[in-house]
Structure 1
């Protein structure tokens, strides 16, 4: 009996099985990469976009920074850290995300969730951590009127990271003790930063709850010409003693 030839467009059985195996391997790799990206973003590292000039010249508008999510947590927060935090309440204007259409919005949300796009900064701020719980932070007349240094626990700090031409507090006087489980933050561009100094009438009295901290920025990764590491300026706070009294309880 004559054998009928197999149509060429169907291919041999082995070829079909091989093609499916390749597609399966590609699917496994893609899914594994997406899961890994999600886990890294959730527990280790997250990317953020810088939307304002409050941290110039350390960070400028349009920079993409990498943020370690190990602090607070396995890694303690330190004075001088650059911290990303959720708005404690009223620091930012009401934010409306850009409308990219149903498909665009869904795609953006999905890629952000798994870490393929930088986090939408609409509810986040980035500042420098100046005071830990219990720290006494002050800018007196000499600081505000004459451009003298801010003091932390009675010790003047030489803030080498300030934007050139800025004074340590931009004529804003303050005298505060950081409550328990709270932080005091300021931008490096002191003359253009609505930070703890200017939010005393907001919830929390201008302090940032520790649980609002997303993480600490450790590198600028974009634009390419601005790629750099952000190490903690430990020398600025090297002479600052620890608080002598327990941190007061936060007010509600």
Structure 2
């Protein structure tokens, strides 16, 4: 009687090949994930935290926002856009509240997940977030008899602005500037508690922000869940603003 050969060895070889295949697939998945996270962080989206009150009530302290890095490289900026930019002229010197906020367990977990995809910005404390008011060439003035600022001679209604109680002025100080080529005039929404373009007239860029320093346009509040919202650039507010005069 002929006996069948033992099946133990072929079964073990199949198991070994299966283990090798699994490890190979795992390595491929990890490499693709790392590459994808690098590409996302470099070219598409990053996450930043809000360290101060300067953009209230649009953004609250310790909010997380997602930033579209295709702006302004491939997609042009518009007046009213909320932008993140690198500190152009040591605006942040002496402002200790720009340190990263402490996180509870749930926030830390969310930040860890974001970091896996390259979305968490570890250098967020070197950046600021403000709203674009003036584009290159724009003539921005404040304030008219109604307390409004004007862009290229057109008064702008700004429903997002937090004003000082008892006044209709959107800025405590007057200004009259023309935005140079390649730069922006930016302001916080919490106008009486925002150190923005108005407060750096003697700096290298005289308060303007170079377009090259803009990381991207913030488009959504991603954390906490209770603050989830899309960020508007209020196109109706700037709809009547014409191009800058030549």
Tell me the TM-score normalised to structure 2 length: 0.83
Q: 1:97 to 1:244 in 2, by over 3 A?
A: closer
Q: 1:185: Cα distance to partner?
A: 0.2
| Structure 1 counterpart SS, 2:172 | coil
Give the Cα–Cα distance (whole angstroms) in 2 for the partners of residues 203 and 113 of structure 1.
37
Structure 1: 4+ residue segments shifted above 4 A: 5-8, 94-98, 111-114, 164-168
Q: By how many angstroms is 1:176 displaced?
A: 0.7
- Aligned residues of 1:181 and 1:209 also touching (Cα < 8 A): yes
The Cα shift of 1:97 comes to 7.3
In structure 2, the CA distance between the partners of 1:157 and 1:116, relative to structure 1 (3 Å rule), is closer
| Structure 1 position 163, deviation (Å) | 2.7
Residues 1:120 and 2:123 are matched in the alignment: yes
Identify unmatched segments of 5+ residues in structure 1.
99-107, 246-252
Q: What pairs up with 1:192-203 in 2 under 5 angstroms? A: 192-203=193-204
Aligned counterparts, 1:166-205, within 5 A: 167-205=168-206
Instruction: For residue 197 of structure 1, give the secondary structure of its aligned residue in structure 2.
Output: helix
Task: Indicate the residue corresponding to 1:131 in structure 2.
Answer: 134
Alignment RMSD, CA only? 2.8
Aligned to 1:79: 79
How many residues matched?
227
1:49/1:119 contact within 8 Å kept:
no
Which residues in structure 2 correspond to 1:222-233 (within 5 Å)? 222-233=223-234
Q: Secondary structure at the match of 1:12?
A: helix
1:104-127 deviations in Å (ceiling 9; x for gaps): xxxx9xx85961523422211000
Following superposition of structure 1 onto structure 2, how do residues 1-252 of structure 1 map, counting pairs within 5 Å?
12-93=12-93, 115-140=118-143, 142=145, 148-163=147-162, 167-245=168-246
Distance 1:200 1:113 in 2: 40
Aligned in 2, Cα 1:210/1:224: closer, same or farther, shift over 3 Å? same
Partners of 1:46 and 1:119 within 8 A in 2: no
TM superposition shift of 1:226: 0.6
Q: Which TM-score applies when normalising by structure 1?
A: 0.81
How big is the shift at 1:170? 3.3
**Unpaired segments of 5 or more residues in structure 2?**
1-5, 101-110
